[in-house]
Chain A
Amino acid sequence: MDFSFTEEQEMTRQMVREFAEREIAPVVMEYDESQQFPWEIIRKLAELGLLGILISPDYGGSGMGYIDLAIIIEELSRVDPSIGLTVAAHNSLCCNHIYLYGTEKQKKNYLPLLASGKKLGAWALTEAEAGSDASAIRATAILRDGQWVLNGSKLFITNANVGEVAVVLAVTDKSKGAKGISAFILEKGMAGFRVGKKENKLGVRASDTAELIMEDCSIPQENLLGKEGEGFINALALLDGGRVGIAAFSVGIAQGVMELCLKYSKERVQFGKPIAKFQAIQWILADMATQIDAARLLTYRAAYLRQQEQRSTKEASMAKLYASEMAVRATEKAVQIFGGYGFTKDYPVEKFYRDVKIATIGEGTSEIQHLVIARQILE
């Protein structure tokens, strides 16, 4: 059994860590407060190949795997979860859907643009009435005169404003339920396709979340992505990868706050000594360190299985469930260790405390993860 990363993976981690500390850390609060999308940083990430992580060099990507993807998301989120989430959604959902299920023509059309970061990608499944019950989506696509006509609206879509390419799921045959859902590639500027309300969020405020609306949006027949009726099944498979991304996002956040707590507790003096000397604080730190390691091991096992093209539904859900719940606890404890200072925006744990909560909700709530895991073990 070998737990070590390859030399390339170590190099990738070091590169992303240095980039995040030097280029992102100084501007994190600025983007959070203004809710501006950090274009300048995203463009630099694009130059480094971080917007085409999984895509083969044949289509202009970096040709790396799921373990590398997890490393990158972990390291970005350790400094700024907003950027971690933007990169995760673009790579593991939008790009990967086209990469895994697209036709050769679709791949040649879209992947070089997405992988180079010339265009950002969004992925749209959730609707107002279809969150955890994802197969209950109502958006429709009807084939009329050789064109697909889409109607409906998608909620809480990451990169909805900034993304120029969107993979959208819609019902093509209502009678078939989940097997009557298909995926489509939409582009900004197509008639009848627009962005709705931008969400004003608790956390990850520098990531772009908005509604996508289709009103008699007519697209070429060839923009069907994957086989008709297989959109939802493909989406579930993609979410196994996506969940590893959210697990890595959670591990990164927890690691980030733990490092802040270690430093602070050695510096902060109360009752005549650094608070790290008190057992009450030591136990919190020891729990944090142990649970982060447990979550990290679950995350990289799931990434490894996925990389080996082995079934990883259960393991990805376990990693996502455990890591996200663990990270919520860790950030809460971090604010507690920082005390009054932790409650202010002058210290970075406040932002992590807000940012982390999306991890137990996005790409399947903790409740849905329980359901997935239970189904797998009772099979």
Chain B
Amino acid sequence: MKIIVCIKQVPDTEAKIKIAPDGRAIDDAEINYIINPYEEYAIEEGLRTKESLGEGEVILISVGPERASTALRSGLAMGADRAIHINDSLLDENDPLLVATILSKAIQQEGYNLILCGVQGVGTDHYQVGPILAELLGIPHVGVVTKLQISPDKAVAHREIEGVSEVIETPLPALFTAQKGLNEPRYPSLKGIMMAKKKPLTLLDCQHLGLSEEEVNKLKGKALIIKLELPPMRPKGLVVQGEPSETVKQLIEWLQKETGIL
């Protein structure tokens, strides 16, 4: 089984985000980049599927600048078999339609039985690449998956919806987007880290995928970032301490005077 896992390199969720002078991107000078956490679940699920089927190949694909190869190496250290890095100055890894189109070209060239993505890319949080990619490939897609059982020709996916669990069965090939709770991603072992550099990492650009500059430009800019703003500072909370008879009084006073709720 050919298992494709699409990953994005994103700013560390612990990173302190600053906005770049142009006001439309983040300042990445001091940012540590990591594998999108939702795609760590996707990689883990790919590896577990291969292990439980007893056969298969896990191939990672990422669209991103040069630094994205670090994320791919980390995924290889977790145990993926090989990786494809699509890097081209024409590309913008934060443009969902463009990224999904590029991925679809590469995945078609590669061949596939199962495609796994994260539910969203932390930071931009579009939730779009997975569904668009499935649509472009003309295959079924189940999003926000928290449990997945893969057999050679079909899959059963679970997802949480309003108060209940929805269970969906689909033939393969299909695409699934991973939600938190799908699994507990493994840590790369030291042996995995040592082997990561020896595994194949293929570099591709738009030309390799048969896309001209005009075609890329036509895909671009369906959604534009006009302006980025940091969320407003969270107002200071209140900690009330003491006996309940006292704390209730304090809380009521605070709700009346400071918030106007009461």
Chain A residues engaging chain B, CB cutoff 8 angstroms: 7-8, 10-12, 14-15, 18-19, 47-50, 53, 57, 62-64, 68
Q: Mark B191-211, 1 if CB is under 8 A from A, else 0.
A: 101101100000000000000
Report whether B187 and A18 are in contact in the complex, using a CB–CB cutoff of 8 Å.
yes
Given A7-B70, A7-B73, CB of A15 within 8 Å of CB of B188: yes
Say which residue of B187, B189, B197 sits within 8 Å of A7 (CB atoms): B197
Chain B interface helix/strand/loop/mixed:
helix
Say which residue of A10, A14, A48 sits within 8 Å of B190 (CB atoms): A48
Say which residue of B70, B74, B189, B197 sits within 8 Å of A49 (CB atoms): B189
Report whether B74 and A11 are in contact in the complex, using a CB–CB cutoff of 8 Å.
yes
Complex contacts, A62 vs chain B, CB 8 Å: 189-191, 194
B112 CB, min distance to chain A CBs, angstroms = 27
Interface flag for B77 (CB, 8 Å): yes
Bound together, the chains give a CA A338 to CA B142 distance in angstroms of: 50
Interface extent on B, as a size class? Answer: 10 to 19
Bound together, the chains give a CA A53 to CA B74 distance in angstroms of: 19
Report whether A12 and B73 are in contact in the complex, using a CB–CB cutoff of 8 Å.
no
What residue of chain B has the Cβ atom nearest to residue A51's Cβ? B190
User: 10 additional contacts, CB 8 Å, given A7-B73, A8-B196, A48-B190?
Assistant: A10-B70, A11-B193, A11-B196, A15-B187, A15-B188, A19-B187, A49-B190, A57-B191, A62-B194, A63-B191
A-B contact pairs, 12 of them (CB 8 A): A7-B73, A8-B197, A11-B73, A11-B188, A15-B188, A19-B187, A50-B190, A57-B191, A57-B194, A62-B191, A62-B194, A64-B190
State which residues 98-123 of B face A: CB under 8 Å: none
Complex contacts, A47 vs chain B, CB 8 Å: 189
State which residues 156-189 of B face A: CB under 8 Å: 187-189
B94 CB, min distance to chain A CBs, angstroms = 24
Complex contacts, B191 vs chain A, CB 8 Å: 49, 57, 62-63
Complex contacts, A19 vs chain B, CB 8 Å: 187
A45 CB, min distance to chain B CBs, angstroms = 10
Most buried by B among A8, A11, A12, A47: A11
A95 CB, min distance to chain B CBs, angstroms = 14
Report whether B187 and A48 are in contact in the complex, using a CB–CB cutoff of 8 Å.
yes
What residue of chain B has the Cβ atom nearest to residue A72's Cβ? B190
What residue of chain A has the Cβ atom nearest to residue B77's Cβ? A11
Bound together, the chains give a CA A50 to CA B190 distance in angstroms of: 7
B238 CB, min distance to chain A CBs, angstroms = 15
Given A11-B73, A11-B74, A11-B77, CB of A48 within 8 Å of CB of B189: yes
Bound together, the chains give a CA A12 to CA B189 distance in angstroms of: 8
A108 CB, min distance to chain B CBs, angstroms = 19
State which residues 189-235 of B face A: CB under 8 Å: 189-191, 193-194, 196-197
Bound together, the chains give a CA A298 to CA B189 distance in angstroms of: 27
